[in-house]
Amino acid sequence: MKKTLRNPYLPSWEYIPDGEPHLFDGRVYVYGSHDLFNGWVYCLNDYVCWSAPEDDLSDWRYEGVIYRKEQDPNNPGGEQCLYAPDVTRGPDGRYYLYYVLDHENIVSAAVCDTPAGEYSFYGFVHYPDGTLLGNRPGDDPQFDPAVLTEGDKTYLYTGGVCFPFEKEKGGAMGMLLDRDMLTVLEGPVFVVPSAKTSAGSDFEKHEFFEASSIRKFGELYYFVYSSVQMNELCYAVSREPLSGFRYGGVLVSNCDRGIGGWKDPDKRTNVGGNNHGGLLEAAGERYIFYHRHTNGTEFSRQGCMEKLTVLPDGSMPQVEMTSNCGGEPLPGRGEYPAYIACCLFREGLGHERRDPVMPRITQDGRDGDEESGYVAGITDGVTVGFKYFDCRGVKRVTVRTRGYAGGRFEVRTSLDGEALGEIALSFRNRWTSFGAPIEIADGVHPLYFTYRGPGSAMLASFGLE
């Protein structure tokens, strides 16, 4: 039996940002960088892979470590981190993984006979004269490679980090590779502008920052990227792989800017941050994969996905962050873990991940411990929200909390609505359930829990009865 789709789609103790989903022979494989829980910089772990059947994206299987940072000849001691990768099946049927080390400006490649086996170092992307891509005078630094193979042609895209105040970097670049998957035959050419080159274009205010990703659906090429807004994934579309891209719009924001449920579209319902992901078309549906920030830092990111609506002209409107991946609503009965929260903020608090009093999704233990996540840092004015539930006959709501908090949770089905009821808490140093008779009208609703009172609570789960 299929499980319900939930965000994050991987276990709560796994930290895979920059997710690139690819469909190979009936299975979806997700490739990304690999953060460390409680890490101090980005991407401290080796590459791993998870996969799921095309028709059941709730059934993820751990494929293991596919590439270790020490395998790159420029990193034998493992001091450098493996930044966001991408994978393609080449013309020869083998699988090629492209990546950039955190202190390099060149693109490395590894190869494997299967999508999720052990990849071996293959070489560096270079020009026909042997000069490495990124080392030729005038080259932009290489970053965040994306790759697409059509028949015997493979297109590589790179570029970033393009801050608006920088005047040196031109944006996202694309190029054609030879059949050896390493030699640049054409390009690089700029395909999506940075703030330096966007004047007069439809990319203004949503220029390329980083996080290249490329797909082709039908006759259209979709280039997904992180914009200078630093929280959103946008897309550009063209009928040609290396030219003609026009701005398409925002796909998702990891702070729900512009769509978060408030009357003010610029008001956020999460702490945002860098974003990276890719498109997937599987079993007749299209999804955007992205990541959220957890643990109160930039360095413990988790993969999420949302189902998209594709309009007749091929455009895709922005979707909101949800607990149910934008799919069928979750059953309005039973107990749900708090780490599936898609809305987490405190009234009057700025959107800085390093704020010591910010609410955050975290876990006990160390990196790799299979500990269930929970929400911590719940102080007066914090709202924890979940979307969406098909509620039928709900008469009671419970929460499982711990911590020195003697206040109450107000329960709502609208951010701006009246409270349906309150659940009183008392100080506990272990997980304890509290409940109250609260009726929720029949129908599909979001659920919001706003804490009022002294102390700081942690929320492990909530229940609908």
Active site residues: 18, 210
Long-range Cβ pairs for the range 309-312 (8 Å, 24+): 310/286
Non-local (6+) Cβ contacts of 137 within 8 A are: none
Strands of 338-393 (E only): list them.
343-346, 360-362, 374-378, 382-391
| Count of helix runs (H) and strand runs (E) in the chain | 0, 31
Kindly list the distances between the CA atom of residue 299 and the CA atoms of 101, 346, 452, in Å, as whole numbers in the listed order.
16, 21, 30
CB 370 within 8 A of CB 439: no
Where are the extended beta strands (E) located within 90-193? 95-99, 108-112, 120-124, 146-150, 153-158, 171-177, 184-193
SS3 content of the chain, % helix, strand, coil (to 5): 0, 45, 55
Which residues lie below 8 Å from residue 313, measured CB to CB, with a gap of 6+?
none
Over the range 164-187, which residues count as b (16 or more CB within 10 Å of their CB) and which as e? eeeeebbbbbbbbbeeebbbbeeb
Interacting residues of 163 by C-beta distance below 8 A, sequence separation 6+: 195, 209, 228
